Amino acid sequence: MKKVNVAILGATGAVGREMLKVLEERRFPVATLKALASARSVGMKLPFAGGEVVVEEATEASFEGMDIVLGAAQNPLAKKFAPAIVKAGAVFVDNSSAFRMSADVPLIVPEINPEDAKKHNGIISNPNCSTIITLTAVAALNRVSPILSMVASTYQAVSGAGAGGLKELEQQVMDYAAGKPLEKQVFPWQIAFNVIPQIGDDTGNGYTSEEMKMQNEGRKILHLPELNVTCTCVRVPVLRSHSISVTLRTERKISVAEAREAIANAPGCKLVDDLANKSYPMPLDTSDQDIVFVGRIRDDLTCENGLSLWCCGDQIRKGAATNAIQIAELLVK
């Protein structure tokens, strides 16, 4: 692969720092690297490839000479800088939700729809973390027989809310052990020893914005415009790695054996499915790596053409940083 000039927009956040780590691990062909963030982070030094990269303030002039910009910033900054990135001739691989549903912006999971990356006009979107993990797990089944509908419940780690989510859970656990009052800032309720059945804002139909992403993004990535998904997103007191329970209905019956074989051979997946020996995907086993573990595959007892499964994946890596860099690899191959 030819060497390219890369910038990370939002380099000091949890996903931005992970992008630096993954770029190094995957030996991405970086010629020059810019770490961009807000003015308050200017001068901060971040480790990269045995050395350090010094954080610069993100301005509209920051993208001149860049080939790829990896976005790890929130929607407002993504929208603010996207025109300057495209004008500079770089490709913006954006992890925010700002452009995911734009008709002219590809939404990519490289194991599923890499060919869509060729259709970009300067911006490519990284899907929602739970969407990436779930679709990576079920895409092989969709190739066997098209998926008609899914019922999903996500059990999302606190790191999905950023570095502050991790700190809040850890602090609450320590305060609980010390008999101190538990304070909350990141989450609306105490997260230690609790689950919170809301992630995202109320959309007015009883579902949150996070829950609707599974259907809306899933339709685009899988090229299934009629796909119906009902989803419940729950924040759980787990540090890292999201878990998802999925029941799907396909056009024709897929047997459990057929499903296991398809998933075992699917890119980005690892079959971990032996209930008798208590072997199944768990957050502790799937953290800090890039494979989606899939197990608990069984017939849905309510629908003849249904299957249920359980999957886990690291939402900071495969659900964000690694998926973005895999997209960048598609661009430079």
Residues annotated as catalytic are: 129, 242
User: Mind listing the pLDDT tens digit of every residue in the chain (333 residues)?
Assistant: 689 999 999 999 999 999 999 999 999 999 999 999 999 999 999 999 999 999 999 999 999 999 999 999 999 999 999 999 999 999 999 999 999 999 999 999 999 999 999 999 999 999 999 999 999 999 999 999 999 999 999 999 999 998 899 999 999 999 999 999 999 999 999 999 999 999 999 999 999 999 999 999 999 999 999 999 999 999 999 999 999 999 999 999 999 999 999 999 999 999 999 999 999 999 999 999 999 999 999 999 999 999 999 999 999 999 999 999 999 999 998
For the domain spanning 131-315, the CATH number is 3.30.360.10
On whether the pTM is more than 0.75, the answer is: yes
Say which CATH superfamily domain 4-128+320-332 falls into. NAD(P)-binding Rossmann-like Domain (3.40.50.720)
Query: What string of H, E and C letters represents the secondary structure of the chain?
Result: CCCEEEEEECCCCHHHHHHHHHHHHCCCCEEEEEEEECHHHCCCEEEECCEEEEEEECCCCCCCCCCEEEECCCHHHHHHHHHHHHHCCCEEEECCCCCCCCCCCCECCCCCCHHHHHHCCCEEECCCHHHHHHHHHHHHHHHHCCEEEEEEEEEECHHHHCHHHHHHHHHHHHHHHCCCCCCCCCCCCCCCCCCECCCCCECCCCCEHHHHHHHHHHHHHHCCCCCEEEEEEEECCCCCCEEEEEEEEECCCCCHHHHHHHHHCCCCEEECCEHHHCECCCHHHHCCCCCEEEEEEEECCCCCCEEEEEEEECCCHHHHHHHHHHHHHHHHC
Q: Would you list the domain boundaries of the chain?
A: 4-128+320-332, 131-315
